Amino acid sequence: MEPEEKISGIYELFLKLVDALELERKGAVYLRALFLEEADRLIREVRSHQQALASRLQGRGSKGKDPSLLKYASIHGHIDRICEHMENMSKALSARCMEGIRFSDKAADEVDYLFGELKDILSGTSSLLAGAKDIALAGSVGQAELAFSVSVGGFEVRHGERIAHGICLPRASSIYMEMLDSFRAIAWHSKEIAQELQD
Protein backbone atom coordinates (compact mmCIF):
# COMPACT_ATOMS: atom_id res chain seq x y z
CA MET A 1 0.00 0.00 0.00
CA GLU A 2 1.59 3.24 -1.16
CA PRO A 3 1.51 6.44 0.98
CA GLU A 4 -0.79 8.08 -1.55
CA GLU A 5 -3.24 5.19 -1.25
CA LYS A 6 -3.19 5.36 2.55
CA ILE A 7 -3.89 9.09 2.57
CA SER A 8 -6.45 8.93 -0.23
CA GLY A 9 -8.67 6.51 1.67
CA ILE A 10 -8.49 8.54 4.85
CA TYR A 11 -9.04 11.84 3.01
CA GLU A 12 -12.22 10.60 1.34
CA LEU A 13 -13.60 9.44 4.69
CA PHE A 14 -12.75 12.74 6.35
CA LEU A 15 -14.56 14.72 3.66
CA LYS A 16 -17.72 12.81 4.54
CA LEU A 17 -17.30 13.94 8.15
CA VAL A 18 -17.04 17.57 7.02
CA ASP A 19 -20.28 17.06 5.09
CA ALA A 20 -21.90 15.40 8.09
CA LEU A 21 -20.91 18.33 10.30
CA GLU A 22 -22.57 20.78 7.91
CA LEU A 23 -25.74 18.66 8.01
CA GLU A 24 -25.68 18.75 11.79
CA ARG A 25 -25.33 22.51 11.63
CA LYS A 26 -28.43 22.72 9.44
CA GLY A 27 -30.24 20.43 11.86
CA ALA A 28 -29.34 22.80 14.69
CA VAL A 29 -30.48 25.90 12.79
CA TYR A 30 -33.72 24.55 11.32
CA LEU A 31 -34.51 21.83 13.91
CA ARG A 32 -35.17 19.39 11.07
CA ALA A 33 -34.59 15.68 11.73
CA LEU A 34 -34.07 15.07 8.01
CA PHE A 35 -30.64 16.76 8.12
CA LEU A 36 -29.63 14.74 11.16
CA GLU A 37 -30.71 11.45 9.61
CA GLU A 38 -28.51 12.15 6.60
CA ALA A 39 -25.62 13.12 8.90
CA ASP A 40 -26.05 9.84 10.79
CA ARG A 41 -25.97 7.91 7.52
CA LEU A 42 -22.67 9.52 6.54
CA ILE A 43 -21.16 8.90 9.96
CA ARG A 44 -22.15 5.22 9.85
CA GLU A 45 -20.64 4.95 6.40
CA VAL A 46 -17.38 6.48 7.59
CA ARG A 47 -17.23 4.17 10.61
CA SER A 48 -17.83 1.10 8.49
CA HIS A 49 -15.15 1.93 5.94
CA GLN A 50 -12.57 3.33 8.34
CA GLN A 51 -12.69 0.30 10.63
CA ALA A 52 -12.07 -2.01 7.69
CA LEU A 53 -9.19 0.13 6.45
CA ALA A 54 -7.73 0.50 9.95
CA SER A 55 -7.73 -3.29 10.39
CA ARG A 56 -5.96 -3.65 7.08
CA LEU A 57 -3.32 -1.11 8.06
CA GLN A 58 -2.76 -2.58 11.52
CA GLY A 59 -2.45 -6.08 10.09
CA ARG A 60 0.29 -5.06 7.69
CA GLY A 61 2.11 -2.97 10.26
CA SER A 62 2.11 -5.70 12.90
CA LYS A 63 3.72 -8.14 10.46
CA GLY A 64 6.67 -5.81 10.08
CA LYS A 65 6.00 -5.19 6.42
CA ASP A 66 5.54 -1.47 6.83
CA PRO A 67 5.93 0.09 10.32
CA SER A 68 4.82 3.47 8.96
CA LEU A 69 1.33 2.02 8.61
CA LEU A 70 0.96 2.19 12.40
CA LYS A 71 0.91 5.99 12.11
CA TYR A 72 -2.08 5.79 9.79
CA ALA A 73 -3.79 3.33 12.11
CA SER A 74 -3.44 5.96 14.86
CA ILE A 75 -5.14 8.50 12.61
CA HIS A 76 -8.02 6.07 12.15
CA GLY A 77 -8.34 5.91 15.93
CA HIS A 78 -8.86 9.67 16.00
CA ILE A 79 -11.40 9.44 13.19
CA ASP A 80 -13.29 6.80 15.15
CA ARG A 81 -13.47 9.14 18.15
CA ILE A 82 -14.61 12.02 15.93
CA CYS A 83 -17.41 9.78 14.66
CA GLU A 84 -18.36 8.92 18.24
CA HIS A 85 -18.63 12.57 19.25
CA MET A 86 -20.48 13.50 16.07
CA GLU A 87 -22.97 10.76 16.89
CA ASN A 88 -23.38 12.25 20.36
CA MET A 89 -23.95 15.65 18.77
CA SER A 90 -26.59 14.21 16.48
CA LYS A 91 -28.37 12.51 19.40
CA ALA A 92 -28.47 15.78 21.32
CA LEU A 93 -29.83 17.63 18.30
CA SER A 94 -32.38 14.89 17.61
CA ALA A 95 -33.64 15.30 21.17
CA ARG A 96 -34.04 19.03 20.50
CA CYS A 97 -36.05 18.28 17.38
CA MET A 98 -38.30 15.64 18.94
CA GLU A 99 -38.96 17.64 22.10
CA GLY A 100 -39.16 21.02 20.38
CA ILE A 101 -36.49 22.47 22.65
CA ARG A 102 -35.44 26.01 21.86
CA PHE A 103 -32.17 27.61 22.87
CA SER A 104 -31.93 31.25 23.92
CA ASP A 105 -30.81 33.57 21.12
CA LYS A 106 -27.36 33.83 22.69
CA ALA A 107 -26.96 30.06 22.99
CA ALA A 108 -28.15 29.55 19.40
CA ASP A 109 -25.63 32.15 18.17
CA GLU A 110 -22.83 30.47 20.16
CA VAL A 111 -23.66 27.05 18.71
CA ASP A 112 -23.73 28.40 15.17
CA TYR A 113 -20.40 30.18 15.72
CA LEU A 114 -18.83 26.96 17.01
CA PHE A 115 -20.11 24.98 14.03
CA GLY A 116 -18.46 27.48 11.69
CA GLU A 117 -15.14 27.50 13.55
CA LEU A 118 -15.11 23.71 13.83
CA LYS A 119 -15.74 23.35 10.11
CA ASP A 120 -12.66 25.52 9.49
CA ILE A 121 -10.56 23.24 11.71
CA LEU A 122 -11.82 20.11 9.97
CA SER A 123 -11.23 21.72 6.57
CA GLY A 124 -7.63 22.51 7.52
CA THR A 125 -7.06 18.91 8.55
CA SER A 126 -8.70 17.64 5.37
CA SER A 127 -6.31 19.80 3.31
CA LEU A 128 -3.40 18.08 5.04
CA LEU A 129 -5.01 14.71 4.35
CA ALA A 130 -5.27 15.75 0.69
CA GLY A 131 -1.48 15.68 0.62
CA ALA A 132 -0.47 19.20 1.60
CA LYS A 133 2.93 19.06 3.34
CA ASP A 134 2.44 22.39 5.01
CA ILE A 135 3.91 22.88 8.48
CA ALA A 136 2.33 26.35 8.66
CA LEU A 137 -1.12 24.87 7.93
CA ALA A 138 -0.65 22.19 10.58
CA GLY A 139 0.38 24.93 13.00
CA SER A 140 -2.66 27.02 12.13
CA VAL A 141 -4.91 24.01 12.80
CA GLY A 142 -3.28 23.68 16.22
CA GLN A 143 -3.71 27.39 16.96
CA ALA A 144 -7.32 27.31 15.76
CA GLU A 145 -8.06 24.33 18.02
CA LEU A 146 -6.55 26.15 21.00
CA ALA A 147 -8.62 29.29 20.29
CA PHE A 148 -11.68 27.09 19.77
CA SER A 149 -11.18 25.43 23.15
CA VAL A 150 -10.93 28.86 24.78
CA SER A 151 -14.19 29.90 23.08
CA VAL A 152 -15.95 26.76 24.31
CA GLY A 153 -14.73 27.47 27.83
CA GLY A 154 -15.99 31.05 27.61
CA PHE A 155 -19.38 29.88 26.39
CA GLU A 156 -19.57 27.46 29.32
CA VAL A 157 -19.09 30.39 31.69
CA ARG A 158 -21.77 32.45 29.92
CA HIS A 159 -24.07 29.46 30.01
CA GLY A 160 -23.61 29.19 33.76
CA GLU A 161 -24.61 32.83 34.07
CA ARG A 162 -27.75 32.23 32.01
CA ILE A 163 -28.70 29.32 34.26
CA ALA A 164 -28.14 31.48 37.36
CA HIS A 165 -30.50 34.10 35.92
CA GLY A 166 -33.14 31.54 34.93
CA ILE A 167 -32.73 32.23 31.22
CA CYS A 168 -31.92 28.63 30.30
CA LEU A 169 -34.22 25.69 31.07
CA PRO A 170 -32.67 22.52 32.57
CA ARG A 171 -33.38 20.26 29.57
CA ALA A 172 -32.01 22.81 27.12
CA SER A 173 -29.00 23.22 29.40
CA SER A 174 -28.11 19.52 29.37
CA ILE A 175 -28.34 19.36 25.56
CA TYR A 176 -26.24 22.51 25.17
CA MET A 177 -23.53 21.12 27.47
CA GLU A 178 -23.48 17.81 25.59
CA MET A 179 -22.93 19.76 22.38
CA LEU A 180 -20.08 21.77 23.89
CA ASP A 181 -18.37 18.55 25.00
CA SER A 182 -18.70 17.14 21.48
CA PHE A 183 -17.44 20.36 19.86
CA ARG A 184 -14.34 20.36 22.06
CA ALA A 185 -13.55 16.68 21.47
CA ILE A 186 -14.02 16.79 17.69
CA ALA A 187 -11.70 19.77 17.40
CA TRP A 188 -9.05 18.11 19.58
CA HIS A 189 -8.99 14.87 17.58
CA SER A 190 -8.87 16.81 14.32
CA LYS A 191 -5.86 18.73 15.62
CA GLU A 192 -4.18 15.48 16.63
CA ILE A 193 -4.60 14.12 13.08
CA ALA A 194 -2.97 17.29 11.70
CA GLN A 195 -0.02 16.80 14.06
CA GLU A 196 0.34 13.13 13.18
CA LEU A 197 0.59 14.03 9.50
CA GLN A 198 3.53 16.34 10.18
CA ASP A 199 5.53 13.92 12.37
pLDDT 10s digits, 36-92: 999 999 999 999 888 777 676 666 545 555 656 666 778 888 999 999 999 999 999
- Residue 167: what are its φ and ψ, rounded to 5°? -80, -30
Q: Is the pTM of this model over 0.95?
A: no
Topology of the domain covering 3-198: Methane Monooxygenase Hydroxylase; Chain G, domain 1 (1.20.58)
The predicted pLDDT at position 65 comes to 53
Helices (H) and strands (E) in the chain, counts: 6, 0
The predicted pLDDT at position 88 comes to 97
The predicted pLDDT at position 1 comes to 44
Structural contact between residues 69 and 58, judged by C-beta atoms closer than 8 angstroms: yes
Q: Rounded to an integer, what distance in angstroms lies between the CA atom of residue 158 and that of residue 38? A: 32
- Residue 65: what are its φ and ψ, rounded to 5°? -75, -35
